[in-house]
Amino acid sequence: MFEEPYRWMEAVSTRHSYVQEKLKKGQPVLSVPYDDGVLIMGFAPQPGKIFEIYDRIALGGVGHPADVEKLRMTLLEMAHLEGFNRSAQDVTLARLLQFGVAPALKQNFEEIQRAPYILRLLLVELEREGNPNFFRINYDGHWETFKKGTVIAGNEKIMDEIQKEIESLPFATFSLNKALEETCRLWIESKKQEEEEGIPQTLKEVFDQWYLEGAVLSKKVERRAVYRALTQEEIDLLKSSVV
């Protein structure tokens, strides 16, 4: 096969189509700044989309749970090894992506004898100065960086439309509850473009049927770890505001 480049290119194209089809049902995960840090959130039929990676780094995933978990563990090991060999200050998402995860994903995707990863990842980092960095990495190792927030979803068209909305809103000036309200609005508006059965079409339905997963990286905590999950009180306040 490698003696005939067009056959390899055709195989790679087929892999793109295969993974994109498998990802279509993946529900959006959004991450945006707010006035005290960074929010990452999403709804899903079962929890397991949002995780802490390191002191100031969080991850959101869309795709096959086993693949998301494998990449989560890879990032965890890389971050802790980097922190041990160098220092905690040297653990940055740019380094983890550029020198670790992105090359591994690219190699896996281009080796057509191996099964490709079925995932799309969102990674967010809160710098010690309080500045957020947002990253999005694809199943083939391609990654992008954003300053105003970002989103991942199974459907690329929906993902691009939510991204435009995120960049048009002043999330960095919002309170946490306001940021949650706006991300919920963007999430449910994206569902109006889908006619798939079993997908909630209103915020009341999604709160009743699915789980809200959310976490923040907060600027105003003195401890080293700034990640925390949303409290039940914060979720209840959000529900009373939007339902």
Domain containing residue 44 = 26-242
Task: With a cut of 50, list the residues of the chain below it in pLDDT.
Answer: 1
Q: What is the rounded CA–CA span in Å between residue 114 and residue 47?
A: 28
Q: Judge whether 56 lies within some domain.
A: yes
Q: What is the rounded CA–CA span in Å between residue 122 and residue 60?
A: 5
Q: What is residue 215's predicted lDDT score, i.e. its pLDDT?
A: 97
Task: Read off the pTM.
Answer: 0.92
H helix runs in 24-127, sequence order: 65-85, 93-96, 102-110
Q: Judge whether 6 lies within some domain.
A: no
Q: Judge whether 116 lies within some domain.
A: yes
Q: What is residue 172's predicted lDDT score, i.e. its pLDDT?
A: 96
Q: What is residue 222's predicted lDDT score, i.e. its pLDDT?
A: 65
Q: What is residue 157's predicted lDDT score, i.e. its pLDDT?
A: 92
Helix (H) or strand (E) holding 241: helix 232-242
Q: Judge whether 10 lies within some domain.
A: no
CATH code for the domain in which residue 78 is found: 3.60.20.10
Give the pLDDT confidence of 28-70 residue by residue, as tens digits: 999 999 999 999 999 999 888 999 999 899 999 999 999 999 9
Contacts of 76 (CB under 8 A, 6+ apart): 53, 54
Q: What is residue 137's predicted lDDT score, i.e. its pLDDT?
A: 97
CB 148 within 8 A of CB 157: no
Q: Judge whether 70 lies within some domain.
A: yes
Query: How many domains, the chain?
Result: 1
Q: What is residue 10's predicted lDDT score, i.e. its pLDDT?
A: 87
Q: What is residue 60's predicted lDDT score, i.e. its pLDDT?
A: 97
Q: Judge whether 92 lies within some domain.
A: yes
Quick one: tokens of 147?
């300053």
Give the pLDDT confidence of 64-87 residue by residue, as tens digits: 999 999 999 999 999 999 888 888
Q: Judge whether 4 lies within some domain.
A: no
